[in-house]
Structures are given as C-alpha cells and as structure tokens.
Structure 1
Amino acid sequence: MASEDSPSPNEIDDPVYRQGMIELLGVLAYGEITACERLAEDAKMAPDLKTRAEIMAMEAAEFDHFAQLRDRLVELGEDPYEIMATFTDTFDRFHKQTAPADWLEGLVKAYVGDGLAADFYREIAAYLDAETRALVLETLSGTGHSEFVIDAVRGAIEDDPKVGGRLALWGRRLMGEALSQAQMVVAERDALSAVLVGGVDHPGMDLAGIGRMFTRLTEGHAARMEKLGLAA
C-alpha cells in the first residue's frame, strides 16, 4: 500500500475526488456512531461491572473518533448528518446480519469486525490528500482496549473450551459479512470507487492490486483471530 500517488493539494478541488473524500469521511463517521450504539448494547450484557466499564470506555473512544470526522465535514461546508444518513441501509444490513448473541460475540465483533473495516479504509486512505489521510488514520487507530478484548476472550476459552469453536465460527462469519459490506460500499459509490481505482488523474489500484488488497485484509483477519486464540 503506497501513498506516493496521493492527490496533491491542487487536486483536492477536483469534484470527483472531493465527493469521494466526503463519502469516505461520512461512512467512517456513521461507522463510529453505530459502533457507539452497538457497544452500549454490548455493555448491558457484560457479566460484571469491570467488564461493563471497559466496554463503555471503548464506546467513549469511538465517539471521540466520530466527533473528529463530524467536525472535519463541517469544516468542508458539509452537513455531516446528511452525508451519514446515506449509509444507513448499508450499516443496518450489516448489523442485522451480525447481531451478537452475548457479550463475548460482541467483543469479537468489535475487535475482528471493526479491525477488518479499519484495514479496508486504511487501504483507501493511501489515495487521499495528506491532511485527510492523517485524519482517517487517526480515527482508525483503535480504541486502545485490544488487550482487554484479547484477555477476556482467551479467559473465556480457558474456562470453557467449547466457547472457542463457537467464536471461531462467529469470526469467520464476521469476515464474510465485513468483506461483503466493504465491496458494497465501494460498488454503490462512484466517487469513492474512483478515488480507489484512480479517478483523480493519478494511478490507483488495478484489478491485480485490488486482489492483493483483499489478500492483505484476509491476512490481517487471520492475525487478529490468532491473537484471540481462535482458529481463523
């Protein structure tokens, strides 16, 4: 993933690039706000107060990321809520298909599902202007609670090894749904797709490059599953 071909400052005014950038900021912002809602629900299923507090801390970090993206859209003269509203159907489909059955599935979804999405958007960020790329990478930097999730999942598997098989299947399902969502987001957005494949008069990804990107996404998923003690 190289960023040397990212748009120069004078290209930022290109209407296709600008629209693609706004769409990316919008989908990220909506993803963060829905993550807050999801984690709030997950916290209610937590087995104890300490776990609930950890999940709520993750929720607070997600909201901070949302606020940064929202504020950037305002700076660009856009209504962030109008932009985000256009992604409602896509995210609703994903979350309906991946509703966790318990707090452990919620943690795996937060760690694995969000990690897959973050990897995908980092790939797109390579083709953004420097300022927007820095903001996107900052909001994809994680919530700082990965060790808590890893320890919680591994601890649950130690207590009941059967949990491992169920969560491994859950992780594979999340991967399939997340990749499907990523493809759908790009396919449904001409400007966002143009940024990824080079629609701003600079080289983007060809078909081979897109194939390599999805290989990297799969490898990243496998690494996260291994950290959780789950077979990918």
Structure 2
Amino acid sequence: MNMRILAIETSTWLASVAVAENGEVLAEWEALTRGQHASVLLPAIREVLAQARLGLEQLDAVAVSVGPGSFTGLRVGLSVAKALAYARKTAVVGIPTLEVVAHAAPADAAYVAAALDARKGELYAAVFRRVGAELEPCVPERLVSFEAFLASLPRPCTILGDAVERYGDLFHQRLGEHGNILPFPQWAPRARVVAQLARRQLARFGLPTQWPEEPHYLRPPEAQVHRSRAA
C-alpha cells in the first residue's frame, strides 16, 4: 500500500516526528524536549513536511503513539494529530507505545521487554516474542512493580525503554548475562517506527473509521486522581 504518513512520537522526553511514503522515511526530526512537547511539535512538523516537500493536503494518514507514557507528552501528541487530521479530513492511526518501543530492538532479539518508567516504583511494561520477522506479545502491557516485571521476564531477554535510565544498574545486577540492557535514549521509541507500524496496520485493516479518543494511560493522570478524592 503506497501511503504518505505523518508520524508523531511524544511518549517520552525524546520527541520525534517523521514523514514516510511507501515504507521509506522521507524526513525526520527528534529532540530531547524534557517535557516541552507543546512548544516544539508544530514547528517540527512544519520542518519535516518542508524537507519531504509535502503539504498537509498530500498526507493519507496521521499516525501517533497513544501510550502508555508521559501524560503531558501523549496528550499533546494526540491533540496535534487529531487537529491535523481534522484539517486534512484524513484518519488518525493510534499505535500502542510499548509496541513502538519493542520494535526498536535489534532484529536478532528473541525476547524483547519494553519498559517505561511510570514513577512511584512502577513500570509500564510488556514482553514480546519474535516469531519470524514479527514481534508477538507474550506478556500483555500492564502497570507493574519492578519486582513483578523481573519475575515475568524470559531468559535471556532484551530490555529497552526509558525505565533503563532509572533501573539500568538493577537490571544488570539481577539479570547478569541473561539481560541485554539497551541504553536510553539511543534505543528510544521513535516516529519512524510509528510510521512503520501504522503502514502495517493500514495494509491489514484499511483506514480506521474511529479516532483514538484519549491516550492510553494505564494509570489515571494525577489531576483526575485529585478530583476524584475531592469529590
């Protein structure tokens, strides 16, 4: 399927944008935003579209990483994706963030654990098994404690995601030679992978008729928790 896709990834503090056509990345941008997604995302989109020599009207779909991950980053990414798609009258394709993380792993990794730091001693995590050229989930995404995450891992296993920043030393200590711990942000979720997974999804199922309503947080945002307690 020959499609032009604008892809957005804002689930961690490494934000990225890419434009791909027929599986080839035409232009991409990334930056360590440290929570400043709102101020950099639209200029970055204009930049990659200019580099690709495309206008919004030439896009077939907007793909976006929908979580779990940074509450603010996900909200900004999905809001921008929906606004652009509405203006273009095209579709928004939501891609689960932990799948984006896992597909950044080396092609020879038999088992891949995608782990994002959820704070409070917890992780957003999922484990995937390589079957041919595909990654299939063998432990579904969930909010989990560090110890429960370790207990769920097959051995050997490749681990990547921003949880490595906080727990990298512990991963090395507890897993030893059975863990291949990939550093962040070198092995971060990126928009080029969002575009790749969106193209695969569109080839299988066609354009979605419904857009993602909200990011997939796995845990309610703090503001929502505070409102619930106040009520």
Per the normalisation by structure 1, the TM-score is: 0.27
Higher helix share: 1
Higher strand share: 2
**Structure with the larger RCO, 1 or 2 (CA within 8 Å, 6+ apart):** 1
